[in-house]
Structure 1
């Protein structure tokens, strides 16, 4: 993947969760599974097969391809509802219980913005479906979220253009990340800390 290619919608979610995770997956083409990714894949099997059905007058499209030439994004929506009154409502499936996660909301907002560009109509809301609790969390596609989508896409393009991996975060996010063994956040953080200590020592003790 290069900076000239359309950015996958999933990359926005990866970057918003952890820029280094995004770099490992989309710059270095590395990936590893753990229990969390396996659960996520199992949830997405429910909506991975393209098709549609009509429920109470609502057309429900599964695995709908999405793109935006304006934003340089490409991907698919797990599910999109087309209501009789013209409302378009994307739904992103996630494993886990109902709770707000900014990285999921950014991915959903990017889907809404792609739908707007494709259909020429506003998509002001969507939802995250949390599989563990079987509950939807409605998300307003605010101006702030839209700006985060644009800024995140620009950050990913800058990373791809530079060819450099972002540094590890080495915080609570790492515990659940399937890329932890590849990333080695503790080892890299220790090396960085040792280098900074040496630089400080050399600064205050020149000539030793």
Structure 2
């Protein structure tokens, strides 16, 4: 439950969940409410590509740029916690102080993704949520971040505007509500269902049946 100072730690949700939620609310609930998961070739490739990005020990300095990997972040306002793939800190007089570092630094989050840029905002919303966590922790403004896609090997710059920020806030509010109620939305078949690793657990085919009982009875009839 959210209080005057935000959500308490025991109510924090996984930051990365907003990417699932934006893509498919049922997928998010199956993973984060019902604790279900299944791998396919796409999720396995994504995990392998993230290994270096999530190696905190490989954080490094390159001149006036400090590159931090697997940086843990949180937001009491959103009620979320997680890890940024990469946060670049650029030395600048307009930046913020960092513990153990001299000078001032401007944070620039970079999220690594499998495949190529997408038309939907799921990846951009996750990046924006990470930036909002950093802003709350460091008391700074982060107007821009980037998405790096493994297939194209290119960065997509993302303006973290008010539209993205308001969507992040609204999505996390809905996620907290669903999580508190333990509610999983009903299946809604979309084109992306075909490549979803949770297809066999989700059963999007249930959409055209009034109940799971009706679906099972129909399946048994087809097998006879």
TM range (shorter): 0.7 to 0.9
Aligned with residue 118 of structure 1, among 110, 118, 137: 137
Aligned structure 1 segments of 4 or more residues deviating by more than 6 angstroms: none
> Residue 63 of structure 1 contacts residue 79 of structure 1 at CA under 8 Å; is this kept in 2?
yes
1:169 aligns with 2:188: yes
Q: Alpha carbons of 1:179 and 1:84: their partners in 2 closer, same or farther (altered >3 Å)?
A: same
5+ residue gaps, structure 2, are 1-6, 96-105, 214-224
Within the candidate set 139, 148, 159, 1:140 is matched to 159
Q: Deviations over 1:11-64 (max 9, x none)?
A: 111100000000000010000011111111011112111132112320000000
Partner residue of 1:149?
A: 168
How far the C-alpha of 1:168 sits from its partner, in A, is 1.2
Which residue, out of 5, 21, 38, partners 2:44? 38
Q: Within 2, Cα distance between the matches of 1:194 and 1:79?
A: 43
Report the Cα distance in structure 2 between the residues aligned to 1:66 and 1:95, rounded to whole angstroms. Answer: 22
Q: Structure 1 CA distance, aligned partners of 2:119 and 2:143? A: 18
Q: Distance in 2 between matches of 1:169 and 1:102?
A: 19
Q: SS at 1:83's partner residue?
A: strand
Counterpart Cα distance in 1 of 2:148 and 2:63: 19
How many equivalent pairs are there?
A: 192
Other-structure match for 2:209: 191
The range that moved more, 42-51 or 13-22, is: 42-51
Q: How does 1:83-94 map to 2 (within 5 A)?
A: 83-85=90-92, 86=95, 87-94=106-113
Match of 1:59 among 41, 51, 66: 66
From 60, 65, 75, the counterpart of 1:68 = 75
Partner of 1:159: 178
Greater relative contact order (CA < 8 Å, ≥ 6 in sequence): 1
> CA separation of 1:79/1:133 partners in 2, compared to 1, >3 Å: closer, same or farther?
same
Mapped to 1, the partners of 2:118 and 2:200 lie a distance apart of: 27
